[in-house]
Structure 1
């Protein structure tokens, strides 16, 4: 897998963050709120680790 494909996949995953945030606003989420919070934390860690590993430049 080339670096451009990885960047595109990370961008696709990162775009799902807003959806997870919107789920937290649902009043009937119940105990699933814990899972959504965990998913947000893990997504943020994944994106942060990717950005540390593959520095983003304007040319990429």
Structure 2
């Protein structure tokens, strides 16, 4: 997998992160809130690791 493909996938992951943030604003989320928080933490870890590995990657 080339770097451009990885960057495109990271961009897609970042857009899904925004969707998860919007889910947290839903009052009827119930116990799924824990899962959404966990998913956000894991996405943040993935994005941070990518930025450490590929420092020239610009944040989107």
TM-score of the pair, normalised by structure 1: 0.90
Count, aligned residues: 58
Larger RCO: 1 or 2 (CA < 8 Å, sep 6+): 2
Matches within 5 A, 1:1-60: 1-56=1-56
TM-score of the pair, normalised by structure 2: 0.90
Unaligned runs of 5+ in 1: none
Q: Which has the larger Rg?
A: 1
CA RMSD after TM alignment: 1.2
Unaligned runs of 5+ in 2: none
The runs of at least 4 aligned residues of structure 1 exceeding 2 Å deviation read none
